[in-house]
């Protein structure tokens, strides 16, 4: 029994609909999945319905963009209450930041004599949480650039000419937002950050877990973070970070988290709930 706890749909920068994602999870014989679109929970209702039909377990989630000590940190929230008022308000704000950033990036491209129409980007993205991959896809679609990689390399990567820094919430605020919505907060793909020195600060802020298993974590990296999780008393998660078909073959199911890890997460959420209940 295996789970994949890091997946995107076209409600952010993935290409699959929630139903297509679930169909692929079934094909991969997963018994549980979590949807973790960037800064939104909108795909969760449809993904949950598709999972119920398919007979696999669904965990509500989102991947929040945050920062700690000048590092962009992605915080995964799991078991979130999608109706939580504050979570809905705050993710709404994060989405506006994303939309405004797209406008700024396209304006920079226009200044560089790249005639990309921002409305074409929004049309292609067709979601409230657009990101740089949508700009890259729109550039390719308009024939202004050959490949998505080239779009990032020439224009969109950090410090390239069309890159615009993203206003981010602080990691402690993101963790608190997740907690008040009943969720667990997990640092995504720490191996991509290469900033282990931020982890103790996140732990102090209430971090619950580390994503030890990820597509871009070689075995030694996973082992390193398993060790860190143990050292700090953190839960262990893992996921493929599948974005659909835009990065070659779909990754869903290529990182397989043993289900006993999911059971530990569920026990931690239940514990948290009963603690809050006892305090009331």
Task: Give me the 222-261 binding string for Zn ion, x by CB under 5 A, dash otherwise.
Answer: -------------------x--------------------
- Binding status of residue 42 toward ligand AMP by CB under 6 A: no
* Shortest distance in whole angstroms from residue 189 CB to Fe ion: 6
Dihedral sign computed on CA atoms, order 67, 137, 255, 43 = positive
- In the complex with ligand AMP, the residue whose CB is nearer, 139 or 148, is 148
Task: Give me the 55-74 binding string for Fe ion, x by CB under 5 A, dash otherwise.
Answer: -------------------x
Dihedral sign computed on CA atoms, order 33, 37, 42, 46 = negative
Which residues neighbour 186 within 8 Å (Cβ) at sequence distance 6 or greater? 75, 76, 77, 78, 207, 208, 209, 210, 211, 235, 237
Nearest to 238 by CA among 82, 40, 251, 39: 251
Give the separation between CA 202 and CA 217, rounded to whole angstroms: 20
| Stretch binding Zn ion (CB under 5 A), from 62-70, 85-93, 143-151, 214-222 | 62-70
Provide the greatest CA pair distance for the chain: 62
- Cβ-closest residue to Fe ion? 74
- Binding status of residue 79 toward ligand AMP by CB under 6 A: no
- Binding status of residue 38 toward ligand AMP by CB under 6 A: yes
- Binding status of residue 250 toward ligand AMP by CB under 6 A: no
Among Zn ion, ligand AMP, Fe ion, none, the one that 214 touches (CB under a kind-dependent 5 to 8 A) is none
- Binding status of residue 16 toward ligand AMP by CB under 6 A: no
Residue spans of beta strands (DSSP E) within 140-197: 169-170, 184-187
Question: Looking at residue 16, what DSSP letter applies?
Answer: S
Binding site for Fe ion (CB under 5 A): 13, 74, 188
């Amino acid at each position: 029994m295996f789970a994949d706890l890091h997946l995107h749909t076209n409600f952010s920068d993935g290409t699959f609909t929630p139903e297509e994602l679930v169909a692929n999870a079934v094909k991969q014989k997963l018994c549980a999945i979590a949807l973790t679109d960037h800064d939104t929970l909108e795909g969760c209702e449809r993904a949950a319905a598709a999972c119920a039909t398919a007979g696999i377990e669904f965990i509500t989630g989102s991947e929040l963009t945050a920062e700690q000590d000048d590092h962009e940190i992605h915080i995964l929230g799991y078991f979130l209450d999608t109706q939580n008022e504050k979570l809905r308000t705050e993710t709404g704000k994060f989405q506006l930041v994303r939309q405004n950033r797209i406008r700024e990036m396209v304006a920079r491209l226009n200044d560089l004599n790249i005639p990309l129409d921002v409305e074409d980007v929004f049309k292609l993205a067709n979601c409230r949480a657009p990101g740089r991959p949508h700009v890259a896809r729109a550039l390719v679609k308009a024939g202004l650039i050959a490949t998505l990689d080239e779009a990032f390399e020439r224009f969109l990567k950090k410090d390239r000419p069309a890159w615009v820094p993203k206003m981010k919430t602080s990691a402690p605020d993101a963790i608190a937002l997740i907690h008040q919505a009943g969720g667990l907060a997990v640092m995504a793909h720490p191996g991509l950050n290469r900033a282990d020195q931020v982890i103790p600060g996140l732990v102090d802020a209430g971090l619950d877990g580390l994503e030890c298993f990820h597509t871009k974590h070689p075995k030694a990296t996973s082992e390193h973070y398993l060790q860190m999780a143990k050292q700090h008393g953190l839960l262990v998660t893992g996921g493929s970070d599948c974005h659909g078909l835009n990065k070659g073959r779909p990754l869903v199911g290529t990182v397989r988290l043993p289900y006993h890890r999911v059971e530990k997460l569920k026990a931690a959420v239940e514990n948290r709930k009963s603690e809050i209940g006892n305090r009331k």
